[in-house]
A and B are shown apart, each in its own frame.
Chain A
């Protein structure tokens, strides 16, 4: 019997090493856990639209206040469900909570904390940036009615531009997306067929094209696919050096998703909904809206009114609404207007631990 045991030492040794590794990693976790729970850390998730700005905020806030913020850009829908399920300290969404979602969240408050535009980006070699596109054309592309870049209607609004004979591949968000909500809300206003057939939402039944996860996913597919068109927060288009269109607004101007265009669009709605939402899609014609870019949106942070991270959350969101706005313009986030900031600061006061 002893002879058996000694000869079996080697596999037994490996088995005990495996076991030791497993136990050691657990032990390390447990001891590490004690040390880690003292450091201030905030966990957030949601909109990929606002992720570039939150990224800058993460770095700056940790550098100045020492609080670590982790953020997962899983999409606005993910942010809403995460804060509803209490798996994060704050959620971020470009699509405002619906009445049902608000009730399901059960004690949440929604605060607009950033403002930017959804660019319509495309991948066409040899074609200039800022191609002119009208709302109806974009809608028909996504409906599958316009299938080639050299379509007469696109040519008509782009005199002098030589458009190639290339299939158009519409790219959309396959996950629950606030950017989708913004884009489809816009399409609702420019296409009756879209409004009656498909409608707006964070998830809709896209008739044609290819889906990708997250704003970065859409940028990825468009950058890889010749002839693709997609909608994404303008910061992604800039970051990935993708071309985006000048979209015709109601004042018949070709508006670009820059700070001026966003600022003009933000004047379109000053009346907050009961849940602090504002809708600035496709502003009406008028002198102050001449430069308005028609596909702009506020993006919201969603907090629980009762949170045991309130002592960390309130300073952070306050900072984001005030000093943090200065980091926006570089990424094409227009600083929020004063009345929005005031509303937000008042709303934060309601958060308690």
Chain B
């Protein structure tokens, strides 16, 4: 094709090629980055499963850690005390956090004047960002010093961690409830509290469950608050929240640094159990999140 302005064409296509190359490089880089992230996840979870699989058997869940003095046959050992301790600690934390978080969300979303709501929400968001180790120190000086460690004090620290997460999730789903529903209820003569509890809140249950399961998943893996509040636990299975109880994160933390390879394998096994719990919780949360958002958006 005869060119009207050949030099101009060549110049333009040269630049165009360079731009396309840069674009391809960036797109390639972005893909590599995503693959890197997925790759790291696969490596870490893969290590956990591969190295921990051998430790997981019925004994793992039904026996407690047995001390091996180095002589004689190794006694059977498991993490029953840690699993039960984690369930109790997290259960208590949820019990403490859920009411506070839901009531907070109701206030901030339904009842508060806008300015105050903004300030209080900001406070919760800042609270969310406080490192868990600082929370651990706070609970230590606030309730542990002079009184001893206890599982419920660990739950208290974890509840502080969970409240902002559950509150935010509840707030988000409360905001999705259409104003028309509230107005209709009020127009029928229902009191504000009746409207909130019977009309608005049931719609938000999905979001509450999402927030609660996500917060539970996060709290189940936190170790720092446990260091200060529930570290002096016994090897036997305990049920008393007034005593320090074993927990899976503390078990992993103490076993990881030992020299004994059998303890390492148990640590990997415990990590696999922990990741399993978190995975299940995340899936439940995700399922509920999708459902409730879809439902609320579709209700319009």
Q: Which residues of A contact B (CB under 8 A)?
A: 1, 4-5, 8, 11-12, 14-15, 18-19, 21-26, 28-33, 36-37, 41, 43, 45, 52, 55-56, 58-59, 68, 70, 72, 74, 82, 85-88, 212-214, 216-217, 219-224, 235-236, 238-240, 242, 330-331
Contacts and interface: CB of A to CB of B under 8 A. Distances in A.
B70 A11 contact: no
Interface of B: 67, 69-71, 87-88, 91-92, 94-95, 98, 144-146, 148-149, 151, 198-199, 202-203, 205-206, 208-209, 212-213, 231-236, 238-243, 254, 257-260, 284, 288, 291-292
A1 B88 CA distance: 37
A86 B148 contact: yes
B231 A14 contact: no
Nearest to A33: B240
Nearest to B145: A85
A9 to B, nearest CB: 10
A240 B263 CA distance: 12
A74 B232 contact: yes
Given A26-B241, A58-B67, A220-B257, A72 B232 contact: yes
A43 B231 contact: no
A216 B258 contact: yes
B42 to A, nearest CB: 24
A43 B240 CA distance: 15
A29 B288 contact: no
B205 A26 contact: no
Contacts of B259: 216, 219-220, 222-224, 236, 240, 242
B92 A87 contact: no
Contact of A14 (B67, B243, B284): B284
A252 to B, nearest CB: 33
Given A33-B242, A330-B71, A11 B205 contact: yes
B53 to A, nearest CB: 22
Contact of A11 (B69, B145, B209, B241): B209
Given A25-B91, A25-B92, A36-B240, A4 B203 contact: yes
Given A8-B205, A32-B239, A58-B67, A1 B91 contact: no
A235 B68 CA distance: 12
A88 B203 contact: no
Contacts of A223: 259
B103 to A, nearest CB: 15
Contacts of A24: 91
Contacts of A216: 257-260
Given A70-B235, A235-B70, 8 more contacts: A8-B203, A11-B208, A24-B91, A26-B88, A68-B236, A70-B232, A87-B232, A239-B260
B100 to A, nearest CB: 14
A55 B235 CA distance: 11
Contacts of A8: 202-203, 205
A224 B258 CA distance: 10
A56 B69 CA distance: 7
Contacts of A235: 70
Chain B CB within 10 Å, residue with most, of A70, A217, A221: A70
B40 to A, nearest CB: 22
B234 A21 contact: no
A219 B212 contact: no
Given A11-B205, A15-B212, A43-B234, A22 B257 contact: no
13 contacts: A11-B206, A18-B212, A18-B213, A22-B91, A23-B91, A25-B92, A30-B241, A33-B239, A43-B234, A59-B67, A72-B231, A219-B258, A219-B259
A55 B240 contact: no
A92 B206 CA distance: 51
Contacts of B234: 41, 43, 68, 70
A26 B91 contact: yes
Task: Sort A-B residue pairs by CB-CB distance and give the 4 closest, nearest first.
Answer: A32-B239, A70-B234, A33-B240, A25-B91
A59 B208 CA distance: 47
A88 B232 contact: yes
Contact of B209 (A18, A23, A213): A18
A14 B288 contact: yes
Chain A CB within 10 Å, residue with most, of B95, B232, B233, B260: B232
B248 to A, nearest CB: 15
B257 A217 contact: yes
Contacts of B67: 55, 58-59
A70 B151 CA distance: 16
Nearest to A53: B69
Contacts of A220: 257-259
B239 A28 contact: yes
A302 B213 CA distance: 44
A93 to B, nearest CB: 15
Nearest to B185: A1
Contact of A19 (B88, B98, B206, B213): B98
A61 to B, nearest CB: 13
A72 B227 CA distance: 12
B69 A29 contact: no
Nearest to B288: A11
A243 to B, nearest CB: 13
A238 B21 CA distance: 62
